[in-house]
């Protein structure tokens, strides 16, 4: 198989069917051992499943990296309210394209993971909330779900187990902020897609006011493997604190961009040089955004020592986020990149919180002015001050996310800003 | 205060504070006189914690906390004025000004604007934005409401009011990010709503303004006088906003037991009559040959003379717009002249108009403030639901006819012609008052002090916001002087005296004092039912 690019350093657990359309069919999936983990889960019982997942050390793949088993254990055990499992397939972080691939190559892997997750948190209904632009992906998923219903893997009395779990696929309307967990819940309920204040937390008051858990696609896709093989098995990859494999979405100036499944803790430079075939046109590396657009930028020196696990990336000065590695070569205009990202956040801010609503748009205007050669050095201080005012002051972290690349780029690539500003000064003086 | 299971004790800005469990930090801070700046929070609405202006520092919390939704906890140490709290709020205020047009010189809100107040209080001296501002322009929202989008601080109070209080979602936020703007759903906008005027009051800035008040007066030129809305028997607490001896607008005044923070659009719009120009200004007394204008002393003297010689029973027509004190004065006049009947007329709407989000509040069917007071003074309602008719036996009565406040617009010139004495105490004359032997100018409720009794029997005070025209005086004052001259007892010198006399003689009001009523009112001792009310 040659799914766009593959590397022999990959460990293809979740991505083993990438590039193989036959795996979309239920019988192929079952032939290859699919839905056996579900059966095993029913034998373990809900708490048994939670224990296995806890033992595996699996951490949420949506960006925050919170241990999945622990999250599941927050769900009330003795409430008589309905519980909901929400699968977050609103993949919209710039630079991220793993969930789309997981769904469209291996939809049953996700469905099985959703069923096990729902069973573990005692939910009888799960929702898969798909990004508005995922038409084809959602079609694949819906078709697979239909087949799973037909064959009795979803719905009432699954495979004679007495367990009832329904799954609904919901296509969003295309808003980044609906990928924020409480924004997703509002959107699912038919409200304006904007995050809610916490507390209350979803495990207490979530979708439709009921206890809910929300997990990323990649997290749930890993569940069948963990349940089938056990927690220890999963820990053979990765580090003590970041066990398992992870999909890395590499984009930008490398020879072979794409999705690569690697053990956590993999060296960033090996990913670029070896797995991705090195920098495009032999250019020098300037910067990497290791976790999707909302994490701080790493300069080339920081990249050298960076290992790709949750702790390693923090040590290097950024965050692993959803492991969307954006690689930029020496010719990249950092100010333009940052402006483009902040513009994205300004466009996607839900607009509730003043610092986010006004700050993201104002930052965009200032950055654009600097880019156009009409900036001043005072602007940089204003931007840094705004970064402080936009961090930790809002309902969700979109505001923090917009501020992070601005702050980190001014600190690490100040020369590029100054060059634009001074060029502007010269032009103005002439 | 000792700790009980229902209270928590915390420290705010160095002060020990004990508040009921569940109290927010913002409300707790009010108990030490600290009003933390805020826009989206309004005590009458849900709290979305989105404006982020009320951030305070809570020791041990990882971030500054929105005080409007953070509940007070035992042992918490809160700083509303620390460097962190002030700097974050200053940041939020700077963000507001990035797109705000700063058109204070032509904005009706100027002078009572929370953006002006907060920026002066804790904002930066100079804004740093050099960028072109976003422009939304102006929109007619229907009803009395005009929207200036550029001034909006996106607090969504207006949206939430319509959804949660009126429970008729006519407004929403469209778009997102800084393209977010408040808008109506359909062409009719707010047309046909009954409470939407309140969104102008709760809009913290000049984004929602009243068309009626548009560019009429500057906020700092207005006098505010506590009063009671005279447009129905709910008795919403209001303020008369006056300038140049004219009412310029009415605003609701908070009273949680009557109207919360709200009033209806009908009541809000119904004030022009208080500014009525065609008024009786001097006592007019019919003498042998002519009707003569007199001073009060002379007029009361003439009335005393006439009262000595007249005969026959008394029929009085009073107005449900008159104060309890005025009604009581007529009652005792009727009794002093040998007794008789007292009636009043009152328009009555087909149905109540409830405010669904605040169930004790409704525009009541009775479209006058004091029908209840008139009933307590022994008057009975006559006429139809338009407030006319029902006076046939008074019109041709051959005894004494006394009319208080009812301008008799449906009656003709024959009214009172057969009366042995016809005294009219009113604000303006009409063809039917032509036969009056005495036409005595009295003040309306906006020009005098007094009390009304609302539909549930709450006695509430109002204060004078306007000067009465010419020689007009409150009816209790005029009739009090008359009675005092007859009996030799001292005349009431103030509305408080008049109320005290009333409380002493009327069991339903026994024990009430004018001071105790204060600005909030008190409920009657016994329930008096208004027929058909
Ligand atoms: S931080 Fe931004 S995106 Fe998040 S809730 Fe506030 S306004 Fe919306
Ligand atoms: S119009 Fe006024 S009340 Fe409505 S959101 Fe804007 S500032 Fe708030």
**CATH code of the domain covering residue B495:** 3.40.50.740
CATH topology of domain A334-423: de novo design (two linked rop proteins) (1.20.1440)
At A428 the pLDDT is 44
Query: Touching check for B215 and chain A: CB below 8 Å?
Result: no
| One domain for residues B414 and B443 | yes
**What end-to-end distance do the CA atoms of chain A give, in Å?**
60
Q: Which sign, positive or negative, has the C-alpha torsion B317, B318, B320, B321?
A: positive
B448 within 8 A of B438, measured Cβ to Cβ? no
pLDDT of residue B2: 52
| Cβ-based contacts of A197 with chain B (< 8 Å) | 48-49, 66, 69
Minimum CA distance residue for ligand 1 atom 8: A350
Which pLDDT score, from 0 to 100, does residue A77 have?
A: 87
Is the model's pLDDT at B93 over the cut of 60? yes
Rounded to the nearest 5°, which phi and psi values hold at A208?
Answer: 55, 25
**B57: in domain:** yes
Tell me if B278 is assigned to some domain: no
The confidence score (pLDDT) of residue A424 equals 67
Q: Which of B167, B198, B221 is the last residue of a domain?
A: B221
Q: Write phi, then psi, for B292 (nearest 5 degrees).
A: -120, 140
Distance between CA A60 and CA A39 in Å, rounded? Answer: 24
For residue A382, give the nearest of B64, B128, B179 by CB distance.
B128
B446-469 pLDDT tens trace: 999 999 999 999 999 999 999 999
Q: Is B366 helix (H, G, I), strand (E, B) or coil?
A: strand
A296 in contact with ligand 1, CB cutoff 6 A: no
Same fold for the domain at A33-234 and the one at A334-423? no
pLDDT at A1: 44
pTM of the full structure: 0.94
Tell me which residue in B50, B87, B95 faces A359 most closely, judged by beta carbons: B95
Q: How many Cβ atoms are within 10 Å of B464's Cβ, its own excluded?
A: 20
pLDDT reported for residue A429: 43
Interchain contact, B131 vs A175, CB within 8 Å: no
How far is A52 from B272, CA to CA, in rounded Å? Answer: 76
Does B136 map to a domain? yes
- Topology (CATH) of A245-329: Ubiquitin-like (UB roll) (3.10.20)
**Residue B500 and residue B374 in one domain:** yes
For residues A229 and A243, what is the distance between their CA atoms, to the nearest angstrom?
A: 14
B128–A346 C-beta distance less than 8 A: no
Model ipTM?
A: 0.92
Task: Work out how many domains chain B is built from and give that number.
Answer: 3
* Chain B 121-150, residues with CB within 8 Å of chain A CB atoms: 128-132, 134
Distance CA B115, CA B151 (A): 10
Q: How far is the CA of B159 from the centre of ligand 2 (A)?
A: 8
Kindly state whether residues B54 and B130 are assigned to the same domain: no
Whether residues B477 and B390 fall in one domain? yes
The chain B residue lying nearest A387, using CA atoms, is B91
Identify the CA nearest to B406 among candidates B416, B396, B397: B416
Which among A220, A223, A279, A270 is positioned nearest to A248, based on CA atoms?
A270
Alpha carbon nearest to ligand 2 atom 3, residue: B203
Tell which of B70, B178, B183, B185 to mutate to test the A interface (max A CBs under 10 Å): B178
Q: What is the DSSP string of A127-179?
A: EEEE-TT-HHHHHHHHHHHHHHHHTTSSBSSGGGSS--BEEEEEE--S-GGGG
B205 Cα–ligand 2 center, Å: 7
What residue in B sits closest to A361 (Cα-Cα)?
Answer: B178
Q: Which residues contact residue A123 at a Cβ distance below 8 angstroms, ignoring those fewer than 6 apart? A: A82, A83, A84, A85, A117, A165, A213
In the structure, what pLDDT confidence band is assigned to residue B530 with cuts at 50, 70 and 90?
Answer: very low
Contact B522, B458 (CB under 8 A): yes
For B483-492, write each residue's pLDDT tens digit: 999 988 899 9
**Does B65 map to a domain?**
yes
Same domain, B110 and B151: yes
pLDDT digits (tens, 9 = 90+) for B334-367: 999 999 999 999 999 999 999 999 999 999 999 9
Q: What is the mean pLDDT of residues B419-435?
A: 95
Q: How far does Cα A398 stand from its chain's mean position? A: 14
Nearest ligand for residue A183 CA? 1
Share of chain B above pLDDT 90, in %: 91
CA distance A366 to chain B (A): 7
Using a CB-CB distance cutoff of 8 angstroms, which residues of chain B are in contact with residue A354?
50-53, 92, 95-96, 153-154
Task: Output phi, psi for B39, to 5 deg.
Answer: -120, -55
Q: What's the rounded mean pLDDT across residues B165-189?
A: 95
Residue B262, domain member (yes or no): no
Ligand 2 atom 2: the closest Cα is on which residue?
B203
Closest by Cα among B450, B448, B460 to B497: B450
**For position B289, what pLDDT does the model report?**
85
The pLDDT, as a whole number, for residue B526 is 55
Residue A192 is nearest to which of B51, B154, B173, comparing CB atoms? B173
Per-residue confidence (pLDDT) for residue B529, from 0 to 100: 45
CA dihedral A422→A423→A424→A426, nearest 10 degrees, is: 90
Contacts of B198 (CB under 8 A, 6+ apart): B161, B165, B252, B261, B262, B263
Where a domain ends, among B202, B221, B240? B221
Nearest CA in chain A to B49: A197
Contact in structure between B438 and B284 (CB atoms under 8 Å): yes
Asked whether residue B4 carries a pLDDT value surpassing 80, the answer given is: no
The domain locations on chain A are 33-234, 245-329, 334-423
Burial class (CB in 10 A: 0-12, 13-18, 19+), A155: middle
Q: What is the pLDDT of residue A430?
A: 39
Q: Which of A354, A368, A374, A381 to mutate to test the interface with B (most CBs of B within 10 A)?
A: A354
Which residue(s) pair with B425 in the sheet? B404, B440
Q: B413-425 burial, b if ≥16 CB within 10 A, otherwise e?
A: eebbeebbbbbbb
Same-domain pairing of B57 and B153: no
Question: Is residue B344 domain-shared with residue B488, that is, in the same domain?
Answer: yes
B480 inside domain: yes
Q: What is the pLDDT of residue A405?
A: 92
pLDDT tier at B313 (50, 70, 90 boundaries)? very high
Nearest chain A alpha carbon to B65:
A393
Q: Which tokens sit at B212? A: 């009626």
- Residue A97 in tokens: 């394209």
Shared-domain flag, residues B398 and B440 = yes
- Structural domain contains residue B393: yes
pLDDT under 50 in chain A at which residues? 1, 427-430
B328 and B404 together in one domain: yes
Is it the case that residue B533 has pLDDT exceeding 50?
Answer: no
Domain limit, last residue, from B221, B243, B258: B221
In a domain? residue B92: no
Could you give the percent of chain B with pLDDT greater than 70?
98
Distance from the Cα of A242 to chain B's closest Cα (Å) equals 25
**Residue A222 confidence (pLDDT):** 98
- First and final CA of chain B: distance in angstroms? 45
Task: Select from A350, A354, A369 the Cβ nearest to the Cβ of B51.
Answer: A354
Find the Cα–Cα–Cα–Cα dihedral A311, A313, A319, A325, rounded to 10°.
-140
Within 8 A of B173 by CB-CB distance, chain A residues are 192, 351
**Confidence band for B3, pLDDT divided at 50, 70 and 90:** low
**pLDDT the model gives residue B528:** 44
| CATH node for A33-234 | 3.40.50.11540
Q: Are A227 and A52 in contact (CB under 8 A)?
A: yes
> Ligand 2 test: best mutation among B208, B209, B210, most atoms within 8 Å of CB?
B208
Distance (Å) from CA B184 to ligand 1 centroid: 23
Residue A73 half-sphere exposure, CB side, CA atoms within 13 Å? 14
Q: Which of A10, A34, A37 is nearest to A237 (CA)?
A: A10
Give residue-wise pLDDT tens across range A235-268: 999 999 999 999 999 999 999 999 999 999 999 9
Band of residue B308 on the pLDDT scale cut at 50, 70, 90: confident
The reported pLDDT for the residue numbered A102 is 97
A219 CB near ligand 1 (under 6 Å): no
Range of the domain at B358: 284-523
User: Predicted confidence band at B522 (pLDDT cuts at 50, 70, 90)?
Assistant: confident
Cα A395 to ligand 1 centre (Å): 6
Chain B positions touching A361 (Cβ under 8 A) are 98, 134, 177-178
Tell me what pLDDT residue A425 has: 61
User: Is B168 in the same domain as B66?
Assistant: no
If DSSP codes are grouped into helix, strand and coil, which group holds residue A378? helix
CB atoms inside a 10 Å sphere around CB A188: 21
Residues B385 and B468 in one domain: yes
- One domain, residues B334 and B463: yes
pLDDT at A2: 73
Please tell me the distance from the alpha carbon of residue B437 to that of residue B396, in angstroms, as a whole number. Answer: 15
């Amino acid at each position: 198989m040659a799914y766009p690019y593959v590397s022999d350093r990959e460990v293809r657990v979740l991505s083993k069917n990438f590039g193989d359309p036959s795996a979309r069919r239920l019988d192929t999936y079952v032939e290859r051992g699919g839905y056996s983990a579900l059966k095993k889960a029913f034998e373990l019982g809900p708490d048994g499943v939670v224990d296995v997942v806890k033992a595996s050390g699996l951490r949420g793949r949506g960006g925050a990296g919170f241990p999945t088993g622990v999250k599941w254990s927050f769900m009330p055990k003795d409430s008589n309210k309905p519980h909901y499992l929400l699968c977050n397939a609103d993949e919209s972080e710039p630079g991220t394209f793993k969930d789309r691939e997981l769904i469209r190559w291996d939809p049953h892997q996700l469905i099985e993971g959703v069923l096990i997750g729902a069973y573990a948190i005692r939910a009888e209904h799960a929702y898969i909330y798909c990004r508005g632009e995922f038409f084809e992906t959602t079609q694949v998923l819906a078709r697979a779900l239909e087949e799973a219903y037909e064959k009795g893997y979803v719905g009432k009395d699954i495979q004679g187990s007495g367990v009832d779990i329904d799954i609904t696929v919901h296509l969003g309307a295309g808003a980044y902020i609906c990928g924020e967990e409480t924004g997703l819940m509002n959107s699912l309920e038919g409200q304006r897609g904007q995050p809610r204040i916490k507390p209350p937390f979803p495990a207490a008051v979530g979708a439709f006011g009921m206890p809910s858990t929300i997990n990323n696609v990649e997290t749930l896709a890993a569940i069948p493997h963990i349940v089938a093989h056990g927690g220890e098995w999963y820990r053979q990859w990765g580090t003590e604190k970041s066990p398992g494999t992870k999909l890395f979405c590499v984009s930008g100036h490398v020879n072979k961009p794409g999705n690569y499944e690697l053990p956590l803790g993999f060296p960033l430079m090996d990913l670029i040089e070896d797995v991705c075939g090195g920098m495009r046109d032999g250019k020098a590396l300037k910067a990497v955004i290791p976790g999707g657009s909302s994490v701080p930028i790493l300069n080339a020196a920081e990249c050298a020592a960076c290992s790709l696990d949750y702790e390693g990336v923090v040590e290097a000065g950024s965050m692993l986020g959803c492991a969307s590695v954006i690689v930029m070569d020496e010719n990249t205009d950092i100010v333009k990149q940052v402006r483009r990202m902040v513009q994205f956040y300004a466009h996607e801010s839900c607009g509730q919180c003043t610092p986010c609503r006004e700050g993201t748009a104002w930052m965009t205007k200032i950055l654009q002015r600097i880019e156009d050669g009409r900036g001043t050095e005072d602007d940089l201080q204003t931007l840094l001050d705004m970064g402080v005012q936009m961090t930790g002051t809002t309902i969700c972290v979109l505001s923090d996310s917009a501020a992070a690349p601005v702050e980190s780029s001014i600190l690490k690539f100040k020369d590029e800003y100054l060059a634009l500003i001074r060029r502007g000064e010269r032009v103005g003086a002439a | 205060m000792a700790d009980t299971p229902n209270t928590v004790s915390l420290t705010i800005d160095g002060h020990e504070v004990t508040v009921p469990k569940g109290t927010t930090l913002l409300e707790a801070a009010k108990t030490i006189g600290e009003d933390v700046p805020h826009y989206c929070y309004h005590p009458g609405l849900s709290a979305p914690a989105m404006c982020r202006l009320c951030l305070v520092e809570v020791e041990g919390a990882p971030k500054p906390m929105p005080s409007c939704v953070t509940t007070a906890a035992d042992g918490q140490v809160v700083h509303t004025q620390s460097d962190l709290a002030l700097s974050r709020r200053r940041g939020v205020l700077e963000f507001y000004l990035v797109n705000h047009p700063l058109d204070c010189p032509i904005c009706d809100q100027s002078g009572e604007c929370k953006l002006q107040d907060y920026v002066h209080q804790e904002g930066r001296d100079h804004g740093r934005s050099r960028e072109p501002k976003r422009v939304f322009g102006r929109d007619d929202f229907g009803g009395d409401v005009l929207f200036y989008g550029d001034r909006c601080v996106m607090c969504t109070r207006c949206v939430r009011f319509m959804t949660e209080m009126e429970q008729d979602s006519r407004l929403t936020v469209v778009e997102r990010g800084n393209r977010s703007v408040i808008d109506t759903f359909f062409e009719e906008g707010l047309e046909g709503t009954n409470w939407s005027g309140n969104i102008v009051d709760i809009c913290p800035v000049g984004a929602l303004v009243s068309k009626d008040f548009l560019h009429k007066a500057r906020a700092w030129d207005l006098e505010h006088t506590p009063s009671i809305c005279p447009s129905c028997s709910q008795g919403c607490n209001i303020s008369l906003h006056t300038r140049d001896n004219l009412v310029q607008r009415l605003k609701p005044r908070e009273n949680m037991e009557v109207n919360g923070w709200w009033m209806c659009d009908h009541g809000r719009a119904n004030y022009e009559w208080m500014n009525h120009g065609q008024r009786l200004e001097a006592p007019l007394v019919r003498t042998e040959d002519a009707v003569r204008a007199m001073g009060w002393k002379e007029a009361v003297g003439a009335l005393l003379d006439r009262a000595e010689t007249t005969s026959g029973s008394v029929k009085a027509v009073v107005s449900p717009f008159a104060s309890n004190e005025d009604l009581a004065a007529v009652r005792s006049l009727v009794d002093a002249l040998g007794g008789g009947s007292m009636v009043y007329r009152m328009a009555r709407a087909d149905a109540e108009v409830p405010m669904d989000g605040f169930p004790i509040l409704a525009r009541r069917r009775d479209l006058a403030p004091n029908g209840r007071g008139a009933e307590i003074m022994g008057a009975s309602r006559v006429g139809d639901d338009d407030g006319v008719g029902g006076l046939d036996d008074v019109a041709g009565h051959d005894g004494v006819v006394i009319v208080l406040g009812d301008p008799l617009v449906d009656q003709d010139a024959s009214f009172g012609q057969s009366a042995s004495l016809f005294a009219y105490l009113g604000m303006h004359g009409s063809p039917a008052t032509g036969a009056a032997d005495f036409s005595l100018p009295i003040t309306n409720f906006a020009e005098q002090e007094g009390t009304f009794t609302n539909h549930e029997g709450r006695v509430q005070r109002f204060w004078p916001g306007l000067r009465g025209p010419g020689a007009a005086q409150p009816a209790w004052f005029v009739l009090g002087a008359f009675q005092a001259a007859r009996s030799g007892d001292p005349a009431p010198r103030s509305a408080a005296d008049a109320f005290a006399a009333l409380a002493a003689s009327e069991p339903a009001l026994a024990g009430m004092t004018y001071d105790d009523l204060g600005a909030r009112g008190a409920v009657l001792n016994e329930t008096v039912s208004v027929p058909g009310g």
